[in-house]
Amino acid sequence: MDKSLGEHRYLPVVFGRPNFSREILAIGNAWPEYKAHVYVCGNDLLVQSLRDVCEECNAYVREAGGQEQDKFRLHFERFG
C-alpha cells in the first residue's frame, strides 16, 4: 500500500458469486449505444443463471423505455 499519498486504499472483497445483474447492467449503462454480449464457458447451471440475468436486464431496459429488445445477449460454449 502506498502511504506516501497520505490515504489508505481499500479494495472491496466479495465472496461467492458476483451480483451478475448489477455488473451486467452497469456494463450496459456504461456503453448505452452498444449491445452487451455476455460470453460464458461453464456448466449448465451457470449458463442458465446468466441467461436468466440477461432476460431480466432486457426486461429492465424495455421497462425503462429502451428501444432495443435484446441489448444483452448470452453466448456460451463447452469443451470436452
| pTM of structure | 0.74
Summarize pLDDT for 58-76 with one digit per residue, the tens.
999 888 887 767 899 999 9
Residues 6+ apart with CB under 8 A from 79: 41
Summarize pLDDT for 31-57 with one digit per residue, the tens.
988 999 999 998 999 999 999 999 999
Q: By the 8 A CB rule, do 59 and 70 touch?
A: no
For CA atoms 63, 67, 68, 72, give the dihedral sign.
negative
Q: Taking 60 as the threshold, does the pLDDT of residue 5 lie above it?
A: no
Terminal CA-CA length for the chain: 42
